[in-house]
């Protein structure tokens, strides 16, 4: 993999970015990481809060300088990515990973774990019975008759979205040997969901969602403009060594491989990042409940905390509310 040139150091002597064909508002470069200063800047962050239209105004930076716009948010006015404990040394290259391999591995790990706990087997953490009961309900055979390959987002920025789909048989299936079966049997990885049908240009959809985030919301009520050197929007988290999902996956580039796949299939763009929150726009959302339910399996593997600590009663409710025909998805890692 050839190294991507980083134009950010040029902004130290040219803060407006005119030399890069830009006209930037006041801001500064961020090179702070969890282990001290990085050899070169990881991102640029504006000083003033982001406003509607600001994200779109920075979109040309992608073409002129290889810099992708992203909103950097927090639940307080002091938005400071320098305090996010960035870990670029842990990030590999997203192109070195296969999205389905990543998701299937997480599915095997987390689905089996949750099903075992839901069936009263030993738990490795302190999740409450209410959470275990809710997780169990998500794995009951209540799906529509989707083929073993199907797809999914949310129009309420405050919604938390993540889920997982199951096969047509499960812990409650009847049969002579059902009592003796492994609780995870019948819930094999369902495969990737099919691509959605593009409703709008992905950049246009991303700009609309960015304006929604910049307008204030319960997840990221305060935000700043950011610019990140990356090959594509999906690579933004890896490019800065974002540590939001570190308790789920140390190498965020593996999750970026999934984001790349979602870029291709659903027209997503990484619109906003917080300390542990991600918002992506979706230009080609799933159009049927069957597709949304299968895509929910990918969401569960990608971000199980959305499921384990969410407020949806079952997978179908999550898929219907957070994925079916929705224009953005949100993810949160504990």
| 159-211: pLDDT as tens digits | 433 333 333 333 343 333 433 434 344 467 889 999 999 999 999 999 999 99
Query: Which pLDDT tens digit goes with each residue over 72-108?
Result: 999 888 889 999 999 999 999 999 999 999 999 998 8
- Alpha carbon 211 to its chain's center: 18
**Which of 252, 333, 271, 274 is CA-nearest to residue 299?**
333
> In the structure encoding, which two tokens stand for residue 246, read together?
């570190």
> In the structure encoding, which two tokens stand for residue 67, read together?
């810099």
> In the structure encoding, which two tokens stand for residue 222, read together?
């305060």
Sign of CA dihedral 63, 54, 210, 285: negative
Q: 44 by DSSP, 3-state: which?
A: strand
Give burial (CB, 10 Å; 0-12/13-18/19+) of 130: exposed
> In the structure encoding, which two tokens stand for residue 245, read together?
């999902």
CA distance linking residue 314 with residue 311, whole number of Å: 9
Find the helix or strand (DSSP H, E) in which 278 lies: strand 277-282
Confidence band of 318 (pLDDT split at 50, 70, 90): confident
Phi, psi for 159 (deg, rounded to 5): -75, 145
| Average pLDDT score over residue span 8-15 | 96
Q: Any idea where the domains of the chain sit in the sequence?
A: 30-334
CA distance linking residue 164 with residue 297, whole number of Å: 3
């Amino acid at each position: 993999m050839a190294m991507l040139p980083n134009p950010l150091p040029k902004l130290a002597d040219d803060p407006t970015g005119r030399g890069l064909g830009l006209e930037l508002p006041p801001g500064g470069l961020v090179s702070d990481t969890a282990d001290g200063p990085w050899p070169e800047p990881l991102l640029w962050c504006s000083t003033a809060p982001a406003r509607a239209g600001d994200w779109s105004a920075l979109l040309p930076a992608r073409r002129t300088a290889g810099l992708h716009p992203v909103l950097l948010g927090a639940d307080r006015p002091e938005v400071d990515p320098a305090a996010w404990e960035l870990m670029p040394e842990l990030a590999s290259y997203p192109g070195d990973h296969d999205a389905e391999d990543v998701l299937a591995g997480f599915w095997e790990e987390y689905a089996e774990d949750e099903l075992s706990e839901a069936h009263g087997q030993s738990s490795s953490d302190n999740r409450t019975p209410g959470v275990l009961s809710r997780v169990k309900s998500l794995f009951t055979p209540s799906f529509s008759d989707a083929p073993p390959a199907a797809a999914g987002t949310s129009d309420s920025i405050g919604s938390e979205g993540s889920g997982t789909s199951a096969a047509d048989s499960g812990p409650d299936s009847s049969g002579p040997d059902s009592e003796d079966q492994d609780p995870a049997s019948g819930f094999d990885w369902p495969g990737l969901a099919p691509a959605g049908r593009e409703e709008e240009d992905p950049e246009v959809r991303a700009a609309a969602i960015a304006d929604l985030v910049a307008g204030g919301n319960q997840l990221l009520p305060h935000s700043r403009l950011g610019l990140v050197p990356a090959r594509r929007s999906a690579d933004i988290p890896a490019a800065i060594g974002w540590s939001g999902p570190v308790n789920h996956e140390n190498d965020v580039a593996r999750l970026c491989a999934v984001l790349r796949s979602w870029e291709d299939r659903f027209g997503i763009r990484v619109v906003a990042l917080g300390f542990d929150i991600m918002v992506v726009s979706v230009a080609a959302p799933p159009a049927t409940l069957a597709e949304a339910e299968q895509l929910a399996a990918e969401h569960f593997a990608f971000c199980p905390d959305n499921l384990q600590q969410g407020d949806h009663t079952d997978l179908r409710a999550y898929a219907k509310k957070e994925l079916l025909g929705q224009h953005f998805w949100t993810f949160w890692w504990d």
